[in-house]
């Protein structure tokens, strides 16, 4: 097994060439600059992201560093609804290049516009043109249609709506003749909304009352879409061919609402390849953060995250990355450190995705994280020499069962299972007890405190133990529930077990936590997605 650590320099600065051929997908999202309605108009920030065949639409590191725009300058037109205020102040499809892949022949870009539109109206905007490319299974050399529904009607809670956001790689490699499960990362700044995915529809019987997918409707033959968690189950059958995925992500005020408040397009590609002979296990992206992690990112803060790629076959190495990055991201090729100072204009969710490609052109599963700009994560507070934020510290008895730690903000149980706390023996460097915070009823969350009850303590007299934490052991309350950082430092929280054989007269103990007994242990009702 080989592990490769890569460092991407990610410096995001808002930075306001695409030929109309060889389209590779895209998305359009929006949000009001102020969700509290005032007057007769509202300022909306519209985000566009598109990908292209790099042979037609060039991008490289120089383009990214110099803020070069790529793509044509097609206008995004209003195709249904109340179009008057939009058509007098159009936006255009040329974007700032953010990513490229030489081996995958992809260039991608992103741009933001701010426009003033009337309050209490709804309308749909479209980037519709041609052409896709010849190696599509469905829609070869056909037209595309990327359509978004903007809605400035005041919600039942008195606020203006934010559209959902979806993040994806433009091209995802998958072996043919194998069933695959792919989860699309979706989120919504209105955290109480219900999100659903559906296939884009080529007729007018949809939310947008317009053709949403042109020639790539039903572009993945035989695929099944699970609407509630945006999960695709599919099998590719043709090598060296692409299939186009055309989806609409829609938000509902409640789970029983009959009509969505907005509709966001997401179009991307799967590429089928014949698995190489011998070991064909794909590489994987691992690291401090799990796939689909949400990270609180205050405006103006210095953010650093690490991406690590791992190969599992002898003789294989990582040769390329396919990425999808926020505008302004700068990166080296093989060493990736995500390093970013977000600006106020990038408030809200900003997604980053990566896929590692090895020297046999086998790609890892997509790995995505969401930076939640303008919000803090609840970080765990390190133990000090005085009893306080962590309990216990110092020397304790071998029958001690209750442990607690405080965070900087209110905490909740993580929404993702397999989020562990590890109690480790210093003598062996191995874990003697683990607890999954996603579901275990012995973990309790109250205010900014997490309490662990260990019913059968494994402590050995005379041994020292330390506690480490996965990313997301503490989750916040905002939006996608920003996660606490992982803790791997063996000195972050330590305690010793009293050994009566060494000393029967002198002990050092800590003040017991205020919760001396556990009378109830609320049970989590986490629902597990068995497809993932």
List, for residues 72-125, the tens digit of each pLDDT value: 889 999 999 999 888 888 899 999 999 999 888 999 999 999 999 999 999 999
Residue 201's φ and ψ, nearest 5 degrees, are -115, 140
Closest CA to 123 of 209, 195, 200, 202: 209
Q: What pLDDT sits at residue 2?
A: 47
Q: Where are the domains of the chain?
A: 2-373, 390-497
Q: List residues bridging with 169 in a β-sheet.
A: none
Burial class (CB in 10 A: 0-12, 13-18, 19+), 417: middle
Residue 444's φ and ψ, nearest 5 degrees, are -125, 135
Closest CA to 473 of 415, 399, 419: 419
Q: What pLDDT sits at residue 388?
A: 67
Matching residue, tokens 């993932």: 532
CA distance 218 to 133: 16
Q: List residues bridging with 307 in a β-sheet.
A: 6
* CA atoms 173, 179, 185, 186: torsion sign: positive
Q: List the CATH code of the domain at 390-497.
A: 2.60.40.1220
* Helix (H), strand (E) at residue 467: strand 464-469
Ranges of the chain with pLDDT below 70 = 1-21, 287, 328-335, 384-388, 503-532
pTM greater than the 0.75 cutoff? yes
* CA atoms 494, 498, 501, 505: torsion sign: positive
Q: What pLDDT sits at residue 108?
A: 95
- Spell out the SS3 assignment of 264-291: EEEEEEEEEECCCCCCCCCCEEECCCCC
* Helix (H), strand (E) at residue 354: strand 348-358
Q: What pLDDT sits at residue 518?
A: 34
Strands 390-391 and 242-252: unpaired
Q: What pLDDT sits at residue 5?
A: 43
Per-residue b or e along 134-157, where b marks 16 or more CB atoms closer than 10 Å to that residue's CB: eebbbbbebbbbbbbbbbbebbee
């Amino acid at each position: 097994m080989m592990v490769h650590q890569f460092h991407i320099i990610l410096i995001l600065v808002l930075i306001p060439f695409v030929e109309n051929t060889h389209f590779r997908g895209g998305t359009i999202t929006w949000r009001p600059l102020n969700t509290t309605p005032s007057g007769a108009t509202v300022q909306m920030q519209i985000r566009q992201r598109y990908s292209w065949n790099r042979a037609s639409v060039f991008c490289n590191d120089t383009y990214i560093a110099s803020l070069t725009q790529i793509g044509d300058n097609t206008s995004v037109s209003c195709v249904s609804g109340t179009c008057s205020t939009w058509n007098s102040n159009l936006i255009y499809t040329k974007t700032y290049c953010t990513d490229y892949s030489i081996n995958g022949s992809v260039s991608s870009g992103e741009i933001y516009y701010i426009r003033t539109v009337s309050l209490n109206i709804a309308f749909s905007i479209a980037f519709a043109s041609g052409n896709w490319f010849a190696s599509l299974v469905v829609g070869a050399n056909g037209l595309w249609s990327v359509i978004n529904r903007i809605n400035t009607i005041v919600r039942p809670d008195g606020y203006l709506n934010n559209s959902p956001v979806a993040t994806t790689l433009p091209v995802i490699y998958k072996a043919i003749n194998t069933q695959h499960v792919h989860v699309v990362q979706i989120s919504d700044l209105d955290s109480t909304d219900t999100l659903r995915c559906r296939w884009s529809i080529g007729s007018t019987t949809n939310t947008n009352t317009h053709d949403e997918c042109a020639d790539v409707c039903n572009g993945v033959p035989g695929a099944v879409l699970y609407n509630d968690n945006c999960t695709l189950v599919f099998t590719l059958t043709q090598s060296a061919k692409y299939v186009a995925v055309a989806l609409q992500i829609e938000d509902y005020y409640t789970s029983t609402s009959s009509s969505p408040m907005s509709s966001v397009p997401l179009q991307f590609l799967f590429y089928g390849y014949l698995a190489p002979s011998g070991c064909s296990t794909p590489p994987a992206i691992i690291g401090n953060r799990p796939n689909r992690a949400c990270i609180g990112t205050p405006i103006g803060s210095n953010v650093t995250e690490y991406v690590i790629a791992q190969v599992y076959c002898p003789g294989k190495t990582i040769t390329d990355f396919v990425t999808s990055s926020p505008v302004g991201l700068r990166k080296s090729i093989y060493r990736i450190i995500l390093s970013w100072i977000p600006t106020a204009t990038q408030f809200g969710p900003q997604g980053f995705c990566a896929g590692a490609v090895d020297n046999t052109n086998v790609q890892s599963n997509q790995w995505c994280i969401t930076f939640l700009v303008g919000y803090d994560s609840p970080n765990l507070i390190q133990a000090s020499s005085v009893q306080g934020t962590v309990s216990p510290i110092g020397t304790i008895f071998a029958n001690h069962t209750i442990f607690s730690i405080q965070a900087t903000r209110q905490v909740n149980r993580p929404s993702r299972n397999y989020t562990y706390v590890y109690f480790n023996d210093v003598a062996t460097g191995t874990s003697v007890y683990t607890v999954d915070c996603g579901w275990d009823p012995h973990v309790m969350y109250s205010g900014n405190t997490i309490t662990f009850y260990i019913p059968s303590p494994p402590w050995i007299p005379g041994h020292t133990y330390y506690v480490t934490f996965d990313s997301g052991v503490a989750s916040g309350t905002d939006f996608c529930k920003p996660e606490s950082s992982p803790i791997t430092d063996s000195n972050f929280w330590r305690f010793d077990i009293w050994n009566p054989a060494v000393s029967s007269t002198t002990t050092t103990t800590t003040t017991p936590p205020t919760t001396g007994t556990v009378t109830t242990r609320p049970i989590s009702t986490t629902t597990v997605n068995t497809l993932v």
